[in-house]
Chains A and B, each alone.
Chain A
Amino acid sequence: MAGTVLPSPGRFARTPHAARQERTERLARAAFALMAAAMIVPLVSILAYLLVRAWPVLSWEFLVDVPRRGMTQGGVWPAFVGTLYLVGLSLAVSAPLGVLAAVYLNEYARDTWFKRAVNLAVINLAGVPSIVHALFGLGAFVYAARFGYSILAASMTLGIMTLPVIVTSTREALAAVPIAFREACWNVGATRWQTIRAVVLPNSISGILTGVILEVSRAAGETAPIMFTGAVFFKAVERGDLFPYRINEQCMALSMHLYTLATQVPGVDEALPFATAIVLLGSVLLVNATAIALRVFLRNRKRW
């Protein structure tokens, strides 16, 4: 650059101070970008590693087959169905309760200490450690309510634990419906509930659905709350049987099965726990991806 003559360095030349500023700026930008990239690396590398290790046994057969030879071989069918049972039943608890609670918080509650208390309770319900939920389920459902160790007790525990997921996302969905919609409805003489049923809920159903989907993924992955309330290490089940359990029996679950294979069973086929992890992770991520896709689709379609 020494040879070229700059047209009047003047006021726009870079002072050392400006140069330093620019350097800092670039450095900060790079550092933050690096940190953000550090979020992607574990997700991708973990998925890749698990897939590679699971590859030898991963097949349709693995999903529909039952565990064999003291769980050292075979598939995950009983655990998979057990998870479906638990998730379905927990949804029956948390979906109505959660949606109604969110309707209360967003449509009925005035801004008082009571609403604040409810809010705080929802946050706390999400913040209580999962193992404490397990203790609660054990004390309340297994013993006090006399459900015994059963699918019922386990899914009630799961349902209460995942309630905040539904409350939070439903609330967001309800809050996104413009107040003008409600006012228009009130003005033609509708009551509060009529307005909610005819205007607010139909306009937010997609957001509510997203919350429900997220609850499914959350409930499917939990281990601690079901460990002491209804999930067992092993249960004999027919291959491919869709209704192997009764509601007052214990069941197997995918998350519990992974824990068992990884820590409790000696001599497991190397790829087996990895494949179980892939089945669990795959289902959860698939469910989550559905929720994300649904949200993006609806956001693009929104008319207001």
Chain B
Amino acid sequence: MSPENAPDPDPARRARRPRRPRWAILGERAIEAAIRLSGVSAIVFVAAIFFFVLREALPVLLRDEFSLGQFLFGTEWYPTSATNVRYGSLALTVGTASVAALAMAFAVPFGLGTAIYISEFCSRRTRETLKVVIELLSAIPSVVWGFIGLTVMSKLIVRLTGAPVGVNLLNGAIIVALMSLPIIVSISEDALKAVPDHYREAALALGATRWQTVWRVLLPAAKNGLLAAVLLGVGRAVGETMAVLMATGHAVNIPHGLLDSVRTLTANIAAELGEAPVGSDHYRVLFLTGTLLFLITFAVNLTADLVVRGSRRR
């Protein structure tokens, strides 16, 4: 594959052949080294993120009074209490899980439906328009979403359900659903587009309607890609910070209904990091929460990658 020419066997001709100046060759070496280094940089950054976040969290992990079991499964989160300090993050984890699950319950049907419509049903013109809309939707910053949740959605929820406060689980889930829709739509549309056209042609030749083609042929064929889309949506929902900070209310408790206020792992870090003295236990526990989040999203993304790869190999 090397495009470099093999050296000329005749020494006289080799001497006559014009050579590139030394600086050009060195320059090329340097730039290729830079390219390789940049390629590695992504891996370095991911490792560095894990390292630095864990490094700040480690001292508290190694202390005798701190138990990891209590951190993961304790329900009491009293980080600033004077007498009874407790770092139990279960309520936060449940908060994250409930927001993400509810958001996916909204976003997955709509996302898949839109992707199917875009790739199978609509005209080219509509498709282009919809794709632009989706791209713009994905460009809305999360703090603006949070602001919308805080102002528009909370009023709507209070008016429609009669809840005492509008910032709650339902509000956060709707906002997060809207935020993760674009990624679900675009990845599932890719997955549907990747199904070879002769599958569609075969189905049509058998007299299947378009809906039958979608339901019986395309969805099973694109199953893995669609699953990956959902997983990436989940990853987005778990990691969302500013929007849930502003839209879910501020109560650290395990929710019993849609209209309860919750707090998620991400929002908790954002809310408390500013107040926690640097180097204190509280500060380190927040970094530990960050490590937990990193591991969760890493696992989700890895699974999504494996799922996609599995589908490609087939």
Bound-state CA distance A53–B137 (Å) is 20
How many Å lie between the Cα of A32 and that of B215 in the bound state?
13
Name the one of A22, A32, A190, A288 contacting B139, with C-beta atoms under 8 angstroms: A288
Confirm or deny: B232 has a beta carbon within 8 angstroms of a beta carbon on chain A.
Answer: yes
Q: Which of B49, B118, B133, B274 contacts A43 (CB 8 A)?
A: B133
Q: Does chain A have a CB within 8 A of B3?
A: yes
Cβ-neighbour of A223 out of B39, B136, B143 (below 8 A): B143
Q: Which of B5, B55, B139, B142 contacts A130 (CB 8 A)?
A: B142
| A35 and B55 within 8 A (CB) | no
A39→B133 contact, CB < 8 A: yes
A35, A40, A43, A131: the one contacting B109 at CB < 8 Å is: A35
- Chain B contact residue count (CB 8 A cutoff): 87
Interface centre among A118, A128, A193 (most CB of B within 10 A): A128
Task: Check A6 for interface membership: any CB of B closer than 8 A.
Answer: no
* Given contact pairs A127-B232, A259-B146, A190 touches B132 in the complex (Cβ within 8 A): no
Does residue A92 face the partner (Cβ distance < 8 Å to B)?
Answer: no
Q: Are B117 and A32 in contact (CB under 8 A)?
A: yes
- A144–B51 Cα distance when bound, in Å, is 12
Which of B31, B52, B304, B305 makes the CB contact (< 8 A) with A140?
B52
Min distance, Cβ A100 to any Cβ of chain B, angstroms: 4
Contacts of B52 in A (CB 8 A): 135-136, 139-140, 144
Residue A109 at the chain B interface, CB threshold 8 Å = yes
Q: Which of B28, B246, B287, B294 contacts A262 (CB 8 A)?
A: B246
Question: Which among B143, B147, B178 has the highest number of chain A CB atoms within 10 Å?
Answer: B143
Per-residue A-contact encoding for B105-124, CB less than 8 Å = 1, 0 else = 00001100110111001100
Q: A-B contact count, CB below 8 Å?
A: 266
Whether B53 contacts A132 by the Cβ 8 Å rule is: yes
Interface size, chain A (Cβ < 8 Å): 93
Cα of A292 to Cα of B178 in the assembled complex, Å:
21
A284 touches B141 (CB 8 A): yes
A263–B239 Cα distance when bound, in Å, is: 21
Task: State whether A228 touches B4 (Cβ < 8 A).
Answer: no
Please name the residue on chain B nearest to A188 by beta carbon: B3
Q: Across the interface, do B42 and A223 meet the contact criterion of CB distance under 8 Å? A: no
Rounded to whole Å, the gap between the CB of B149 and the closest CB of chain A is 10
Determine if A29 and B139 form an interchain contact, defined as CB atoms under 8 angstroms apart: no
Within 8 A of A (CB), among B136-176: 136-137, 139-144, 146-148, 150-152
* Chain B nearest Cβ from A275, distance in angstroms: 12
Asked whether A101 lies within 8 Å of B39 as measured between CB atoms, the reply is yes
Bits for B258-293, please: 1 = Cβ < 8 Å to A, else 0: 000000001001100110000000000011001001
Q: Which of B8-16, B63-71, B79-87, B206-214 contacts A (4 or more CB under 8 A)?
A: B206-214
Q: Which residues of B contact A288 (CB under 8 A)?
A: 135-136, 139
What are the interface flags for A32-48 relative to B under an 8 Å C-beta threshold, 1 for contact and 0 otherwise?
Answer: 11011011101100100
B 206-233 binary contact with A (CB < 8 Å = 1; else 0)? 0001111010000000000000000010
Q: Label chain A's interface by main secondary structure.
A: helix
Q: Say whether A127 contacts B239, CB under 8 Å.
A: yes
Contact call A128/B130, Cβ cutoff below 8 A = no
A127 and B300 form a contact (CB under 8 A): yes
Say whether B302 contacts A97, CB under 8 Å: no
Q: Which residues of A contact B210 (CB under 8 A)?
A: 25, 28-29
Q: Are A133 and B49 in contact (CB under 8 A)?
A: yes
Q: Are B139 and A284 in contact (CB under 8 A)?
A: yes
Q: Does A280 contact B117, Cβ atoms closer than 8 Å?
A: no
Q: Is A132 a contact partner of B49 (Cβ separation < 8 A)?
A: yes
The answer on a CB contact under 8 Å between B45 and A160 is yes
B89 → chain A closest CB, angstroms: 14
CA A50 to CA B134, docked complex, whole Å: 19
Binds B, one of A67-75, A214-222, A244-252: A214-222
Closest-by-CB residue of A relative to B47 is: A121
- For B290, give its contact among A103, A121, A131, A189 (CB under 8 Å): A131
Within 8 A of A (CB), among B35-61: 35-43, 45-46, 48-49, 52-53, 55-56
CB-defined contacts of A42 to chain B, threshold 8 Å: 137, 178
Q: Do B117 and A128 touch (CB < 8 A)?
A: no
Neighbour of A97 across the interface among B38, B212, B293, B294, CB < 8 A? B38
Measured between beta carbons, the chain B residues less than 8 angstroms from A224 are 142, 241-242, 266, 270
Known: A104-B36, A223-B141. 15 other contacts (CB 8 A): A24-B209, A28-B210, A43-B137, A98-B38, A101-B42, A124-B302, A130-B242, A132-B53, A135-B56, A163-B42, A189-B3, A228-B274, A259-B147, A259-B246, A262-B246
B interface residues, Cβ below 8 angstroms from A: 3-5, 28, 31-32, 34-43, 45-46, 48-49, 52-53, 55-56, 109-110, 113-114, 116-118, 121-122, 126, 130, 132-137, 139-144, 146-148, 150-152, 178, 181, 185, 209-212, 214, 232, 235-236, 238-242, 246, 266, 269-270, 273-274, 286-287, 290, 293-294, 297-298, 300-302, 304-305
Ordered by A's residue number, 14 sampled pairs between the chains whose C-beta atoms are within 8 Å are A35-B110, A39-B130, A39-B133, A101-B39, A120-B301, A132-B294, A135-B290, A144-B52, A218-B139, A221-B139, A221-B143, A224-B142, A259-B147, A280-B141
**Footprint of B on A, CB under 8 Å?**
21-22, 24-25, 28-29, 31-33, 35-36, 38-40, 42-43, 46, 49-50, 53, 96-98, 100-101, 103-105, 107-109, 117-125, 127-136, 138-140, 144, 160, 163-164, 167, 185-187, 189-195, 217-218, 220-224, 227-228, 255-256, 258-259, 262-263, 273-274, 277, 280-281, 284-285, 288-289, 292
